[in-house]
Amino acid sequence: MDIADLRKSYERDALDEHAAHADPLRQFEHWLQQALNAQLPEPNAMTLATVGADGRPSTRVVLIKGCDARGIVWYTNYHSRKGRELAAHPFAALQFHWVELERVVRIEGAVERTSEAESDAYYASRPLDSRIGAWASPQSEVIPSRATLVANAAQVSARHLLNPPRPPHWGGFRLVPDRWEFWQGRKSRLHDRLRYRKEGSDGAWIMERLAP
């Protein structure tokens, strides 16, 4: 089949201004819970887009690990490409794509590091292999072979045994949203798109319908 002939009619649901929550965080939590209830594969996976100092964008998939009024949290290596790009240009975009529900959520905003205490607490909650992996992988760097990772992991295990501390180059980021967009697929490509943006000195959320 020619890839240009691949098509799907979106008919599962609708997104109406009067039914959507006035607070985008509450709307997101509602949709995320529905994705969890539907037992979708990795409903916590989100695409993270950053921009380098040269203006070149890059994306990768990360996992949401926290969500509250302060923002959206994930954890990573601060020396990775995304870590370096966020240090130089602390703004990013996130996207969730729940294919089975025919939904997309896009989030934009400034990015900051989580506190040391938050990073410590989450790191301590990870399985031992994941804690060792945070030390063993020089994320985004060129390595000779997979054997390098295995050897690094063995060295970390021998050094720290069952209690490796959090690496100083590993921790959390928090995106503080100033824009949200909720997309619900609809028939005939007349999709529903609701955007929330902050306006005014009080930072009130304004909801707007966008053309698909």
DSSP 64-90: --EEETTEEEEEEETTSHHHHHHHHS-
Can you tell me the distance from the alpha carbon of 206 to that of 179, in angstroms, rounded to the nearest whole number? 10
How many residues belong to the chain?
212
Q: Quickly list DSSP for the chain.
A: --GGG------S----TTTS-SSHHHHHHHHHHHHHHTT-SSTTEEEEEEE-TTS-EEEEEEE--EEETTEEEEEEETTSHHHHHHHHS-EEEEEEEEGGGTEEEEEEEEEEEPPHHHHHHHHHHS-HHHHHHHHH--TTS--S-HHHHHHHHHHHHHHHTT-PPPPTTEEEEEEEEEEEEEEE--GGG--EEEEEEEETTTTEEEEEE---
Chain segment 54-81, per-residue pLDDT in tens: 999 999 999 999 999 999 999 999 999 9
Question: What residue numbers does the annotated binding site for substrate cover?
Answer: 7-10, 65, 122, 126, 130, 189-191
Could you tell me the sign of the dihedral formed by the alpha carbons of 17, 23, 27, 28, in that order?
A: positive
Boundaries of every domain in the chain: 8-126+168-209
Is 189 a residue of the active site? yes
- Active-site residue among 113, 189, 195, 209? 189
Binding-site positions = 7-10, 60-65, 75-76, 81-82, 122, 126, 130, 139-140, 183, 189-191, 193
* pTM more than 0.85: yes
**Residue list for the binding site for FMN:** 60-65, 75-76, 81-82, 139-140, 183, 193
- How far are the Cα atoms of 38, 93, 148 from residue 17, in angstroms, in the given order? 24, 23, 53
Q: How far apart are CA 140 and CA 54, in angstroms?
A: 17
Per-residue pLDDT, 200: 79
8-126+168-209: which CATH number, 2.60.40.10, 3.90.1150.10, 3.30.565.10, 2.30.110.10?
2.30.110.10
pLDDT by residue (tens digit) across 150-187?
A: 999 999 999 999 899 999 999 999 999 999 999 999 99
Confidence of residue 102 (pLDDT cuts 50, 70, 90): very high
